[in-house]
């Protein structure tokens, strides 16, 4: 399993805290002339699997950008362990977030280098991550295995394989928070369910937020939230 002590952020260059929750307090956020959120309040427990639902364009990715500090709210506070996000080293915080989008950025190199970002790695951990994301199925069928070149943005492999590699890469980095933003949209329902069921076993080691418009993903969550009318509601 992943290191259980990865919930750490450097708040002042020397002071470390265990990140257990992300709290939105009366957040209002405008983008250009549009109000995306108004007086939004929600508490995300990073020991739970959180699924965030909503129609396209409703603000799901914007919500993630607020968590990462890429956007600053016009009103209200975002807190990590009751510390104002804006008072934290945002560069360091962003390094703790593994973000996987619907169309992940892969580079024209080997499967191995895409997974490890050419850093030192633990072979046992790599083996485990390949199994969890079921990348081992297509890697083992490739002529050069982990040394297979995947092309620019993964053009030589399928969309589902690209997404699985991107999820595996995020798991390899030992980050605090994993955000899957429609990151399994290219997978068939059976494969998607198996991979998500494997990933949720990591919830005691890292925070996991899954963003999707797929109603069936709710079943893997501890809490399910939906963005409606510029706010977030809990779905029982």
pLDDT surpassing 70 at residue 15: no
Task: Indicate whether 114 belongs to any domain.
Answer: no
171 Cβ contact partners less than 8 Å away, ≥ 6 residues apart: 2, 98, 129, 132, 133, 178, 199, 202
Asked if the structure places residue 184 within a domain, the reply is no
CATH number, domain of 77, equals: 3.40.50.300
**pLDDT tens digits, one per residue of 119-164:** 999 999 999 999 999 999 999 998 899 999 999 999 999 999 999 9
- Residue 173 counted as domain residue: no
**pLDDT tens digit sequence for 93-107:** 998 899 999 999 899
Quote the pLDDT of residue 163. 96
Residue 77 falls inside a structural domain: yes
Does any domain span residue 21? yes
Q: Which domain holds residue 68?
A: 1-96+218-231
Residue 143 falls within a domain, yes or no?
no
How many domains does the structure of the chain reveal?
1
Q: Please tell me the least confidently modeled range out of 24-28, 163-167, 199-203, 208-212.
A: 199-203
Between 126 and 218, the more confident residue is 126
Asked, for residue 74, whether it belongs to a domain, the answer is: yes
pLDDT at 225 exceeding the cut of 80 = yes
| Helix residue ranges per DSSP H, the chain | 60-68, 90-95, 111-116, 123-132, 136-139, 159-172, 189-199
Q: Which of the pair, 2 or 185, is modelled with greater confidence? A: 185
Q: Is residue 36 part of a domain?
A: yes
The two three-digit tokens of residue 156, written as one number: 């030589």
Whether the predicted pLDDT of 12 surpasses 70: no
- Residue with more model confidence, 15 or 196: 196
Report the pLDDT value the prediction gives residue 18, as an integer from 0 to 100. 66
């Amino acid at each position: 399993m992943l290191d259980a002590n990865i919930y750490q952020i450097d708040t002042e260059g020397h002071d470390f805290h265990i990140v257990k929750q992300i709290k939105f307090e009366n957040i209002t956020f405008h983008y250009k002339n549009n109000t995306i959120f108004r007086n939004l309040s929600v508490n995300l427990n990073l020991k739970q699997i959180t699924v965030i639902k909503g129609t396209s364009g409703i603000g799901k990715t914007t919500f993630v950008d607020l968590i990462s500090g890429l956007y600053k709210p016009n009103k209200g506070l975002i807190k990590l362990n009751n510390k104002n996000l804006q008072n934290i080293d945002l560069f360091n915080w962003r390094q703790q977030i593994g973000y996987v989008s619907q169309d992940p950025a892969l580079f024209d190199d080997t499967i191995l280098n895409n997974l490890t970002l050419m850093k030192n790695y633990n072979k046992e951990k790599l083996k485990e991550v390949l199994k969890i994301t079921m990348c081992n199925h297509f890697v083992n069928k490739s002529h050069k295995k982990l040394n297979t070149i995947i092309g620019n943005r993964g053009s030589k492999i399928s969309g589902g394989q690209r997404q699985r590699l991107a999820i595996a890469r995020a798991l390899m980095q030992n980050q605090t928070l994993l955000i899957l933003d429609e990151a399994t949209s290219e997978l068939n329902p059976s494969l998607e369910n198996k991979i998500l069921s494997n990933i949720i076993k990591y919830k005691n080691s890292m925070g996991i937020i899954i963003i999707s418009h797929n109603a069936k993903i709710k079943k893997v969550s501890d809490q399910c939230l939906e963005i409606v009318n510029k706010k977030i509601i809990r779905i029982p």
